[in-house]
Amino acid sequence: MSLLAIQFIQFFAALILLTNFAMLTQRRFSSLIKLLVFQGLILSINMAFVAYTTQQNELYITVALTFLLKVWLIPFILFRLFIRLHIENQIEPIINLPSTLLIGLALVIFAFNLSIPITEISVTTGRPTLALALASVLLALFTMIIKRKAISQVISLLALENSLFFAATSATNGMPLVVELGMAFDVLVGLFIFGLFFLRIRDTFENFDLHHLENLREE
């Protein structure tokens, strides 16, 4: 892969990281879903770019599936859950915004230092790409921790999957189609299970704040 192609992939990796940073600061579910759609679009464009530069025509099938699932189907299901369950649009984070941004910045610095031994033996991509992808994963995990509502944690989990998907496809110049189909199927099944989980939480507690689950005790 040429130097120019690697720089383009690094640009896409930076966009993924910025969207994960934006998710940390969002206080509305609708904004989180829109950012998730933007991530799916970035993944689709990046995969199309990898397919073009590596001349792997089978990757265009992955591009179509990625666009269908991550840009249209999954966000559509989330919006339907959001409307049907009458979920409040406001999100109440556990910690305040300045502390959130400082911790997020520290995670990015940690990711860049952690990626140094890996990138020194990598021949398929540059150091910034893996570092940015790893930082995106850590930020998605952090977003899951600081959000109180169940659906916001599911969105953060999907953002985590997007970050892992980007890291895998960029580091290996595309994964086998069977692996990608399996991942897509797992994500869809998990999303439907979470939908049933949301219904159960609403029927039991009449809201989606996860602190109610702490009150559950085994009989």
Which distant-in-sequence residues (6+ apart) come within 8 Å of 80 by Cβ?
none
CA distance 138 to 20: 9
Calculate mean pLDDT across residues 141-163.
Answer: 81
Give the pLDDT band of residue 103 (cuts 50, 70, 90).
very high
From its phi and psi, is residue 62 left (phi > 0), alpha (psi between -120 and 50) or beta?
Answer: alpha
In this prediction, residue 146 carries a pLDDT of: 85
CA distance 129 to 167: 8
Residue 201 has pLDDT above 50, yes or no: yes
What angle, rounded to 10 degrees, do the helices at 127-146 and 3-25 form?
10
pLDDT of 84 strictly over 90? no
Percent of the chain with pLDDT over 90: 14
Q: What is the pTM of this model?
A: 0.78
152, 90 Cβ separation under 8 angstroms: no
Q: What is the pLDDT of residue 204?
A: 56
What is the average per-residue pLDDT within 84-89? 68
Predicted local confidence at residue 60, as pLDDT = 85
pLDDT tens for each residue of 1-43: 567 777 888 899 899 999 999 998 888 888 888 998 999 999 8
Tokens of 219: 């009989």
Say what the pLDDT of residue 192 is. 60
- Residue 178: the pLDDT is 46
